[in-house]
Amino acid sequence: MTNEQSWRLGFFFSILVIMMLLEWQLPARKSPIKSSKRWLANFGLVFVSSVIARLTVPIGLTAVAFYNEEHSIGLFNVMSLPSFVVITLSLFILDIVIYWQHRLFHQIPILWRLHRVHHADAHVDTSTGLRFHPLEIVLSIIIKLIIVSAFGVPAIAVLIFEITLNGLALFNHANIRLPQVIEKPLRLLLMTQILHRIHHSQRVSETNSNYGFSVIWWDKLFGSYKDSAQKSDSELAIGLTDYPDAKQNSSLLSLLLLPFKK
Ligand SMILES: [Zn+2]
């Protein structure tokens, strides 16, 4: 295992364990589906998606970034800007791209077919933050490869971005409700759990808001920010009305086949 992989996995598992412990001790909502059943399907999908992504795009994003640096490919690699400027700009660019990618996955019907696997979950917790169809993961990697190569994003920025984005996705999907004294100031900058649950509401106008996984800036800037839903956080109906029966989306196979169903 490379140094990079151990950093990524180390961060990933630490945040996952912390979030799951918090969910166990301070759950915000009760799951309408048996947790063991959901987790088997959600974590099963994470495993299948990772294997498929690895086989489809066997080269890592940071390896591509290193190659670009060596061969002067991409905007930043032909300019001579200080490295902290390049890293900062790279993080902003990648985050805006992920915001728009998420938004387009909601707006373009064929992409929504893939992304609805994530939204069909009738409960939101840490495992939902990882529940993405393998094709959505592969498309996302390809988009990031294009951006990294076009801008010449340095490998260190790719690593910081991937670790942070992954950690924040686990954080804002967690089934917890932070105390108001923490949540209020935090939501001035970050997408908190309460804000992200609005994105998982069954009301379409609410689903089509709060696309950011990290900061709230892009939603504010591009007019998709919603600070509250019609219902309170504890009463919010989560999931998709098209998939009211929790049972139908609780097996790994049904999740894999969901994009191809009517
Ligand atoms: Zn979404």
Position 247 pLDDT exceeds 60? no
CA of 84 to the centre of ligand 1 (A): 31
Residue 3 Cα to ligand 1 midpoint, Å, equals 32
Q: How far is the CA of 99 from the centre of ligand 1 (A)?
A: 10
Please determine, for residue 206, whether its predicted confidence score (pLDDT) is greater than 60. Answer: yes
For residue 115, the CA-to-ligand 1 centroid distance in Å is 7
When pLDDT is averaged across residues 245-258 and rounded to a whole number, the result is: 76
User: Three-state SS for 27?
Assistant: strand
Q: Is 176 helix (H, G, I), strand (E, B) or coil?
A: strand
Q: Residue 140 and residue 123: Cα distance in Å, rounded? A: 24
* Rounded Cα–Cα distance for residues 180 and 177 (Å): 9
The CA 118 to ligand 1 mean position distance, Å, reads 7
Q: Which amino acid is at 190?
A: L
245 C-alpha to center of ligand 1: Å?
Answer: 20
Distance 212 CA to ligand 1 centre (A): 9
- pLDDT at residue 244 in the model: 66
Q: What is the mean pLDDT of residues 22-37?
A: 87
Q: How far is the CA of 82 from the centre of ligand 1 (A)?
A: 35
Domain boundaries in the chain? 32-260
Average pLDDT value for the chain:
92
| H, E, C per residue of 186-219 | HCCCECCHHHHHHHCECCHHHHCCCCCCCECHHH
State residue 55's pLDDT score. Answer: 87
Q: How far is the CA of 69 from the centre of ligand 1 (A)?
A: 33
Q: Is the pLDDT of residue 223 over 90?
A: yes
Instruction: State residue 1's pLDDT score.
Output: 60
Per cent of the chain over pLDDT 70 is 97
Q: How far, in Å, is the centroid of ligand 1 from the Cα of 52?
A: 21
Q: How confident is the model at residue 248 (pLDDT cuts 50, 70, 90)?
A: low
Average pLDDT over residues 86-106: 97
Q: How far is the CA of 168 from the centre of ligand 1 (A)?
A: 14
Q: What is the mean pLDDT of residues 100-126?
A: 95
Q: What angle do CA 239, 129, 87 make, to 5 degrees?
A: 135
Its pTM stands at: 0.92
Distance 104 CA to ligand 1 centre (A): 10
Tokens of 246: 């929790």
Helix (H) or strand (E) holding 151: helix 134-151
Most distant pair of Cα atoms in the chain: their distance = 56
Other CB atoms within 10 Å distance of the CB of residue 29: 19
CA of 74 to the centre of ligand 1 (A): 30
To the nearest 10°, the Cα dihedral for 182, 186, 191, 193? 0
